[in-house]
Amino acid sequence: MKKVKWGIIGCGGIADRRMIPGMLESDSLEIVAVMDTNFDAANRVKEKCGAKYAFSTIEELLEIAEIEAVYIATPVFCHLEQVKKAAKAQKHILLEKPLGLNSAEAEEIKNICEKEGVLLGVGFMMRYASYHQKLKELIENGVLGEVVSARAQFTCWYPEMENCWRQNKELSGGGALMDLGIHQIDIIHYVTGLKAKEVCAFCGNQIFKYGVEDAGSILMRLSNGAMCYIDSNFNVPDSASVSKLEIYGTKGCACLYNTLSQEDGGKFELILSDDSASYDAMQERKAEKTEKIEVEFGNLYTKEAESFGLAIMGNNVNFAKADDGIYAQKITDAAYKSVLEKRFIEV
Ligand SMILES: NC(=O)c1ccc[n+]([C@@H]2O[C@H](COP(=O)([O-])OP(=O)(O)OC[C@H]3O[C@@H](n4cnc5c(N)ncnc54)[C@H](O)[C@@H]3O)[C@@H](O)[C@H]2O)c1
């Protein structure tokens, strides 16, 4: 089998902890070179993954002709310039979320890749969660009926740290909504196929006083009229962080716990109803109808890298594309605007 040859740009948290181990589980790719401005980090990761080269500049990595694709996992403020260079060097690009500091930058990134004729994928790895794929299939097959409400909660503990790019709005584009909320926005769009038409939001700093919000909530009206609610927190201890994704429809609901995560897993409860046509003044809850959905789990990052590799080889595969990344950022832009202007924003 032909192996897709990859270069890694940025050897920090997510690359080292998740993507590279995920890539190493795959037989269909090879990591040829790694690069980080911190050369020690690049060298350490090179040893871990058996790459041929470690570099401290992007130019050196992009000169390696055999590299077909790069995975960019650097702070958000670096993305645009790195995409310009990688696309010019004719490398396909799997870029970590969010694409850019805002939707305008995300659009620019898309245009650059289109102009250079390279593929651009967005690091929305949660799309590969087995339960999210199952949920999408159920909704597409009409099992939940018409979607009337969608909710997602995603939290973690992110205390103040010195020189932390994610806690500086100019370097990250935003806080909890930008970092966590963007996955929630994307997953609701992915599983329901619905986009928001109207957005309003709250965000602020309750526990941590850094330069981005430590929590945010977004309320959206989706294109079919359904209401959607997202809350994202940097101020809930990891041990108490239970992620939730709930989709309610006219025929039932799906409740997923801990599927918004860097690992495939969690729990999925499906409750279906056959009595929505008649009115029941007792509003009886038939909890015994709850069905636990079982699936086989895998590695989100292996699947993400393999799908992008298949697309590079010309296969018609589903992966998160530029427009998906731009859509999610239009929503975060609208949420921040809503907070500033204290009003609903049309998207
Ligand atoms: N999809 C996910 O699961 C997920 C999870 C976490 C982070 N992310 C995204 O991944 C990206 C990186 O986040 P992180 O948490 O790994 O950050 P990080 O700070 O842990 O690591 C970033 C790395 O990039 C390096 N770096 C900084 N400037 C660079 C440059 N100009 N060129 C090359 N390397 C440079 C740093 O030395 C560091 O090693 C962000 O876009 C973030 O939003 C995605």
pLDDT recorded at residue 236: 97
The yes-or-no verdict on residue 293 having pLDDT over 90 is: no
Q: What is the mean pLDDT of residues 270-290?
A: 70
Locate the domains of the chain by residue range: 4-125+302-320, 126-296+328-346
**Taking residues 120-136, what's their average pLDDT?**
98
User: Is 101 near ligand 1, meaning CB less than 6 Å away?
Assistant: no
This prediction has a pTM of: 0.96
Comparing 24-33, 175-184, 270-279, 295-304, the range with the smallest average pLDDT is 270-279
Q: For 137-164, how does the pLDDT look when each residue is reduced to its tens digit (9 = 90+)? A: 999 999 999 999 999 999 999 999 999 9
CATH topology of domain 126-296+328-346: Dihydrodipicolinate Reductase; domain 2 (3.30.360)
d(CA 132, CA 58): 35
How many percent of the chain have pLDDT more than 70? 96
Which residue among 8, 9, 14, 212 has the greatest number of ligand 1 atoms within 8 angstroms of its CB, and so is best to mutate? Answer: 14
Centre of ligand 1 from the C-alpha of residue 248, in Å:
35
Q: Whose CA is nearest to atom 9 of ligand 1?
A: 96
For the segment 198-220, the average pLDDT, to the nearest whole number, is 98
Give domain 4-125+302-320's CATH superfamily.
NAD(P)-binding Rossmann-like Domain (3.40.50.720)
Q: What is the mean pLDDT of residues 227-253?
A: 96
> Does the beta carbon of 168 lie inside 6 Å of ligand 1?
no
3-state DSSP assignment of residue 246:
strand
Which of 19, 34, 36, 177 for mutating ligand 1's site (highest number of atoms within 8 Å of CB)?
A: 36
Q: Write the secondary structure of 27-63 as one string of H (helix), E (strand) and C (coil).
A: CCEEEEEEECCCHHHHHHHHHHHCCCEEECCHHHHHC
- Using CA atoms, how far apart are residues 279 and 268, in angstroms rounded to an integer? 28
Q: What residues contact residue 103 under an 8 Å CB cut-off, 6+ apart?
A: 326, 329, 330, 332, 333
